[in-house]
Amino acid sequence: LGGAQTLDARASHDAIAREIATPLKMSVLEAAAGIRRIVDIRMADEIRVFAAKRGVDLTAFTLLPFGGAGAVHAAAVAEELGMNRILVPPRPGAFSALGLLCTDVVHDYIRSGLAPLANLAPQYAEEIFAALEVRAREDMANENLDPSGASFLREFDLRYAGQGYELRIPLDGLYTEVLTEKSLSRVRDRFDEAHARVHGHAAKERPVEVVSYRLRLRVAVPKYKPLKMAAPPAPVPAGKGVRAVYFDPARATEAILYERDALPLGAEIRGPAVVEQFDATTVIPQGWSARVDGYRNLVLERRSA
């Protein structure tokens, strides 16, 4: 909190020594490093599973950490995932609050109904989706939401017959006003493609089952639009001090400290460094560099990649 809160480092040290280091016959630094390593790996594993479900290659993406400690762990998590770029927003600690203010109002509706997709009558599916839309419009009216900004997304939960899990398949682009036989045929193709992308294979010879009907109501709200400013090359900013940081419990590393709000546009930093601000801390390890872009994001890139 920018120095507004004093941390009791001795109490933390004693707690780790008493509860972890001493029972495991290791030093406090080794125990702390182990805690940190477990946290980093757990974060990376969650991201890896999330990406696998969507069939995406994480190495092609930028990691966006938020919260007060997100950027403390970001570089280690990125290295675990093979990612080479990190974007830390200007106010990471308030990022979720900003997102809440800018997030569209979304309501999800679902109706269960197990049936073979090949035997599903378009008129029957249309009736179910129409009934869900009636409920959605009633909720909009009760919440005084502007219907002019509303959109509806239809989805099926589909699976191959006998499977114990489903994939959500959107129907957008497969129909104009109402579902048709052709629409349902194209749904099957879309499901096979999604299954191959997510799970690595498709069983086009097997029948497909509809498990549930989904409708998502989305009502748009005004969005925050950051202003981009020119970010000319800037000299390496002066640090505000040096701190001993343990990236490796066996030895301390001197890291230069920087105040985030004092960094000019275009400023470049080479790790090891620690960037402090009121609502967050960013750790830049050896082998990483950072630059302040035109939106005042702090963009970290792995130099050794």
Q: pLDDT value at position 75?
A: 97
Q: Tell me the helices (H) and strands (E) count for the chain, helix number first.
A: 6, 12
The pLDDT of 126-149, averaged and rounded, is 94
Q: pLDDT value at position 4?
A: 85
Alpha helix positions (H), the chain: 9-16, 28-54, 70-81, 95-102, 122-142, 181-199
> Within a 13 Å sphere around the CA of 137, how many CA atoms are in the beta-carbon half?
8
pLDDT tens digit sequence for 195-247: 998 888 999 999 999 999 999 999 998 888 888 988 777 777 889 999 999 99
C-beta of residue 113 within 8 angstroms of C-beta of residue 119: no
CB-count burial class (<10 Å; 0-12, 13-18, 19+) for 183 = middle
In order, the DSSP letters of 130-193 are HHHHHHHHHHHHHTT--GGGEEEEEEEEEEETT-S--EEEE-TTS-SSS--HHHHHHHHHHHHH
Q: pLDDT value at position 54?
A: 81
Does the structure show a pLDDT above 80 at 250? yes
pLDDT tens digit sequence for 116-125: 999 999 999 9
Does the structure show a pLDDT above 90 at 56? no
